């Protein structure tokens, strides 16, 4: 499933919106927003953008021509900006990190279903990604709706999961022997041992603080075990939940173009950056926005 490409209308509007055009994506979540230059957004337009974001969980903007400062200014309207502990940021912009894969690199960044920063005591509520350079083919990102995944579970599975807390850690991917330990991506890495070794506990079923909707919170690369179970006991349940949550009926797939900007809600969305463009270059600028303690 790929988000349809649309041109900005001469008079941007959609049912329920007066200042922007909102076209729902093909799939279980996401919407393309047009008629907007994110460098020039007044408060009324931003209010509609935020409402669309809470409704659709992922927003897609095309044709943006922005600097890291513009991206940071737009992201800051959603909340305080976060920093990423494992990659050197762009000089002069401590909240903006480069996500780069050169033609000779084999491993990409974000190549598996996950929610950003779920190992942090207070994970980021949102991620904003801007495309600088994209491959001629491939390099799409998939997004999965964790509200829909939760709602589709059986009453018995819901009863089992509701109230359980998970133990999350960065060590599985960033620690010695982790997925990124020997990764050949060219971003300059930071070895933040304190963050790697930390363990954070979060509910497996979290309630969105702005909409009140429940969602699964089971970021597989980061969850070590359920708090009241061993890792061995936890593993098959997590395996089932990830397989369930990433079924086709819960997914939208986005095809990037240079100038595309995407904002997604880490509280209710997982994503997967496809690594199907070997021999080609891809560069993105990423910002995360501070969240709240999961409840």
Evaluate if residue 1 carries a pLDDT over 60.
no
7 part of a folded domain: no
Residue-wise pLDDT for 205-257, tens only, equals 999 999 999 999 999 999 999 999 999 999 999 999 999 999 999 999 999 99
11 part of a folded domain: no
The mean pLDDT value for 61-72 works out to: 98
Evaluate if residue 61 carries a pLDDT over 90.
yes
What percent of the chain shows pLDDT beyond 70? 92
Q: For residue 181, name the pLDDT band (cuts at 50, 70, 90).
A: low
62 part of a folded domain: yes
Residue-wise pLDDT for 72-96, tens only, equals 999 999 999 999 988 999 999 999 9
Q: Tell whether pTM > 0.75.
A: yes
Q: Higher confidence at residue 173 or residue 237?
A: 237
Evaluate if residue 7 carries a pLDDT over 70.
no
8 part of a folded domain: no
Q: Which domain CATH number covers 205?
A: 3.60.130.10
Which member of 21, 202, 271, 282 is catalytic?
271
What are the structure tokens assigned to 264, written together? Answer: 């997604």
16 part of a folded domain: no
Among candidate residues 102, 117, 106, the one with its CA nearest the CA of residue 202:
117
Which member of 21, 62, 82, 116 is catalytic?
116
Which member of 21, 174, 208, 286 is catalytic?
286
Neighbouring CB atoms inside 10 A of 195's CB total: 19
- Helix, strand or coil for residue 157? helix
Which member of 114, 174, 202, 206 is catalytic?
114
57 part of a folded domain: yes
Neighbouring CB atoms inside 10 A of 286's CB total: 22
Q: How many CA atoms lie within 13 A of 23 on its CB side?
A: 17
Look up 114 and say whether it is catalytic. Answer: yes
pLDDT value for 187: 74
Mean pLDDT over the full length of the chain: 92
Residue-wise pLDDT for 104-141, tens only, equals 999 899 999 999 999 999 999 999 999 999 999 999 99
Look up 286 and say whether it is catalytic. Answer: yes
* Number of domains observed in the structure of the chain: 1
Evaluate if residue 172 carries a pLDDT over 50.
yes
Task: Check: CB of residue 75 under 8 Å from CB of residue 81.
Answer: yes
pLDDT value for 5: 40
Residue 244: phi and psi, rounded to 5, are -65, -50
- Helix, strand or coil for residue 234? helix
pLDDT value for 11: 43
Q: Higher confidence at residue 94 or residue 190?
A: 94
Burial of 177 (0-12, 13-18, 19+ CB in 10 A): exposed
Residue 227: phi and psi, rounded to 5, are -60, -40
For residue 158, give its domain range: 21-289
12 part of a folded domain: no
Evaluate if residue 13 carries a pLDDT over 80.
no
Q: For residue 291, name the pLDDT band (cuts at 50, 70, 90).
A: very high
Q: Residue 129's beta-bridge partner residues? A: 262, 286
151 part of a folded domain: yes
The mean pLDDT value for 152-164 works out to: 96
Neighbouring CB atoms inside 10 A of 160's CB total: 13
Return the CA Rg of the chain.
Answer: 18
| Pairwise CA distance, residues 43 & 290, whole Å | 21
pLDDT value for 191: 67
């Amino acid at each position: 499933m790929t988000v349809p490409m649309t041109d900005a209308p001469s008079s941007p509007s959609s049912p329920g919106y007066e200042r922007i055009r909102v076209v729902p994506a093909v799939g279980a979540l996401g919407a393309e927003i047009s008629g907007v230059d994110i460098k020039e957004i007044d408060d009324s337009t931003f209010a509609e953008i935020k409402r669309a974001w809470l409704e659709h969980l992922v927003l897609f903007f095309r044709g943006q021509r922005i600097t890291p400062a513009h991206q940071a200014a737009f992201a800051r309207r959603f909340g305080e900006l976060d920093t990423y502990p494992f990659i050197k940021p762009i000089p002069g912009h401590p909240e903006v990190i480069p996500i780069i894969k050169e033609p000779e690199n084999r491993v990409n960044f974000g190549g598996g279903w996950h929610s950003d920063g779920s190992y942090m005591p207070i994970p980021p509520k949102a991620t904003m990604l801007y495309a600088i350079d994209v491959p001629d083919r491939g390099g799409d990102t998939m997004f999965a709706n964790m509200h829909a995944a939760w709602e589709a579970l059986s009453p018995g599975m819901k009863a089992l999961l509701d109230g359980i807390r998970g133990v999350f850690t960065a060590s599985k991917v960033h620690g010695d022997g982790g997925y990124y330990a020997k990764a050949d991506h060219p971003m300059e890495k930071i070895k933040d041992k304190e963050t790697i070794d930390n363990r954070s506990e979060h509910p497996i079923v979290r309630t969105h603080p702005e909409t009140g909707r429940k969602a699964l919170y089971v970021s597989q690369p980061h969850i070590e075990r359920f708090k009241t179970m061993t890792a061995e006991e936890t593993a098959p349940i997590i395996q089932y939940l990830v397989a369930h949550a990433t079924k086709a009926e819960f997914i939208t797939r986005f095809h990037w173009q240079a100038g595309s900007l995407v904002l997604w809600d880490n509280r209710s969305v997982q994503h997967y950056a496809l690594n199907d463009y070997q021999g080609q270059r891809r560069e993105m600028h990423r910002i995360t926005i501070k969240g709240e303690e999961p409840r």
